[in-house]
Amino acid sequence: MSDNSSTTLVKGLKIIEFLSEHSGATLTLISQELAMNKTTVFRLLQTLITTEYVKKFNSQYSLTHNNNLFSQPSAPSLNWITIPIVKEIVNKYHATAFIGILENYEVVISQVFSAEDNTDGLKEIGDSTPITMSALGKSIVAFLEPKQQEAFIDGMDFPDGTKYTLDNQNVIRQNLNEIKSQGFALDDEESEIGIRCLAVPIFVNGKSVASLGISNSYNNLKRSELKRIAKDLTQCSQQITNEYF
């Protein structure tokens, strides 16, 4: 490898390492913090986007959910391939199902099981939502160890969503306690008006590491059916744990 190639590789790795420590950063911030020429940083970021190590939203660059070069050793390695048993839930309730994992203070969609007749609130693999606006995210955080959960709450932002979005630490604490007590999380138009999402945690070695949820329109995912749906989701979650982990 030439000296120029080695230097480029080192700079690229420094950018990845920097982004692993930040939920997002602008081109200017990365350039300043790493003392690199802005043109060089821009060129490297474009390469990292092309190779799917980095994504850009508005002016912010961040690591993609599938980049684990600098992940914590204690974090479980989850390669969420298509899990056929989830289709049973999709077919039964004619609702799109999702598997989500935490990334910083957001939940990232790692698997989508689409219902052919449901396109309401359709999300794609890689889409992310703040924990405070997501049943998938809240269902994971609700079952974390107390110290870990409190660290998440302390670091949360409360972005504007809908009039139903949770907007402060006291409200999110109360909501997480309710979720842990009832065993499932609900996004009741907190992310998008007209859309309801129900989710349960997925456990690996007794730890909450992911979530399974379904989404449908407010009218189609009726409140009277939530407990029955949550029971089916929990059984499916347990089956995922038993068969895949």
Structural domains of the chain in order of their starting residue, each with its CATH number: 3-63 (1.10.10.10), 86-244 (3.30.450.40)
Helix (H) or strand (E) holding 40: helix 38-50
What pLDDT shows up at residue 137? 94
Diameter over CA atoms, the chain: 66
Nearby residues of 240 by Cβ (< 8 Å), 6 or more positions away: 83, 85, 86, 202, 212
Helix (H, G, I), strand (E, B) or coil at 179: helix
What pLDDT shows up at residue 3? 56
What CA–CA distance (Å, rounded) separates 193 from 115? 20
Nearby residues of 243 by Cβ (< 8 Å), 6 or more positions away: 85
Helix (H, G, I), strand (E, B) or coil at 150: helix
For the chain, which ranges sit under pLDDT 50?
1, 70-82, 120-121
What pLDDT shows up at residue 186? 94
Number of Cα atoms under 13 Å in the Cβ half of residue 239 = 14
Helix (H, G, I), strand (E, B) or coil at 211: strand
What CA–CA distance (Å, rounded) separates 194 from 124? 19
pTM of the model: 0.66
